[in-house]
Amino acid sequence: MEIKQNISLKQHNTFGLDVYSGLYTEINHYNDINDILFNDVFRNSERLIIGGGSNILFTRNFTGIVVKMNIKGINIIEDNDRYVVIKANAGEEWDKFVEFAVKNNFSGLENLSYIPGNVGSAPIQNIGAFGSEVKDTIHSVEIIDINTGKQSVLSNKECMFGYRDSIFKRELKDKFIITSVYFTLSKIFKPNICYSALKNELAQSEIDNPEINLIRDAVIRVRKSKLPDPNELGNAGSFFKNPMVSREKYEILKKEYPDIKGFDNASSNEVKLAAAWLIETCGWKGYRIGDAGVHKKQSLVLVNYNNARGIDILNLAKEIQNSVYQKFNVEIEMEVNVI
């Protein structure tokens, strides 16, 4: 394990921000973990664990140590007629893991195809897309306490998953390293095509009884048509979460704004509003100030046209939050981790 000094993080964050880390190292093997945890330099520095850097906004150089989790490996540890349990290590690229599952007809992850980042980060914000959330496939999460080096395994329930939320964003934030995730994937395929953008894509392609690989392909087509490729335009996906409001508030807003878009779940007293619609209705879609901007096709995505600084993007985000609040009296929370 080598600790490097003064390393550019441009290749390690999908906003493409050219910030520097005072110290930087990569964990490639389990043995490296104890080496780093009990290293004096690590213990005395501000620390940041990263995966693919696709949900981070750096607003400054990081003076402490950045540790990239890179441990690879996918192993089937239980296999029967109905399901498999798979252990995937934190450093596996998320979409390579989904591709592996789909190729083997292990279902549950196909709607989560093509999300950037690594396996170890997936539980942190309970990644979701097209009507699926990763929590529905997570069996348990293996973690190591950064202070003691003690390993433990959290059950699905103990992870306290919610919409873009888990214990790792709250009580355990910055206290643990996720080393691997156990998934239970079904061998009995039941397509989940409730999400309208996916349903429409399958209908347009005249696919009536989609196989698992066709779902994956359709998800990738929709994603490519809407979301910017970070290799071409820096971004971190949705910058904000979709806000939850009471049904009462939703009805009031709907009277004033009949086109308002909400994901209405009849069994719940809350409605999830489409933040993209709120932001677009405030006039931000396609807005650009310097090199920071709001994506032309998806107003929930903030972009770096080239030379924006993290602080420029953060200032734009705050202006957007204020204007949405002024117009709709709704607070939109940032999804991205701001450093």
According to the binding rule CB under 6 A, does residue 56 interact with ligand FAD? yes
Token representation of residue 118: 């690594």
**238 labelled catalytic:** yes
Which partner from the list ligand FAD, ligand EPU, none does 285 bind, CB cut-off 5 to 8 Å by kind? ligand EPU
Judged by CB, which is closer to ligand EPU: 30, or 195?
Answer: 195
According to the binding rule CB under 6 A, does residue 274 interact with ligand EPU? yes
According to the binding rule CB under 6 A, does residue 337 interact with ligand EPU? no
The 10 Å Cβ neighbour count of residue 242 is: 22
According to the binding rule CB under 6 A, does residue 65 interact with ligand FAD? no
Residue labelled with tokens 């704004």: 257
The 10 Å Cβ neighbour count of residue 46 is: 13
Whether the Cβ atoms of residue 329 and residue 278 lie closer than 8 Å to each other: no
**8 labelled catalytic:** no
Judged by CB, which is closer to ligand FAD: 153, or 252?
Answer: 153
Whether the Cβ atoms of residue 5 and residue 39 lie closer than 8 Å to each other: no
Relative orientation angle of helices 196-204 and 212-226, to the nearest 10 degrees: 110
Catalytic one of 113, 132, 164, 166: 164
According to the binding rule CB under 6 A, does residue 230 interact with ligand EPU? no
CA distance 94 to 99: 9
Judged by CB, which is closer to ligand FAD: 37, or 253?
Answer: 37
CA distance 308 to 324: 23
**309 labelled catalytic:** no
What's CA 27's distance to the chain center, in Å? 21
| Nearest C-alpha neighbor of 301 from the set 280, 327, 322 | 280
Token representation of residue 47: 């620390």
Site for ligand FAD, residues 80 to 109, rule: CB under 6 A: 90
Which partner from the list ligand EPU, ligand FAD, none does 53 bind, CB cut-off 5 to 8 Å by kind? ligand FAD
Residues 6+ apart with CB under 8 A from 98: 109, 110, 112, 113, 114, 115, 216
- DSSP letter for 236, please: E
Site for ligand EPU, residues 32 to 91, rule: CB under 6 A: none
- The only residue of 116, 243, 293, 310 in contact with ligand FAD, by rule CB under 6 A: 116
According to the binding rule CB under 6 A, does residue 197 interact with ligand EPU? yes
Active site residue ranges: 164, 238, 335
Point out which residues bind ligand FAD (CB under 6 A).
14, 48-56, 69, 90, 115-118, 120-122, 124-125, 127-129, 177-178, 227, 230, 235-237, 337
Point out which residues bind ligand EPU (CB under 6 A).
129-130, 195, 197, 226, 237-238, 241-242, 261, 274, 276-277, 280, 285, 298-300, 335
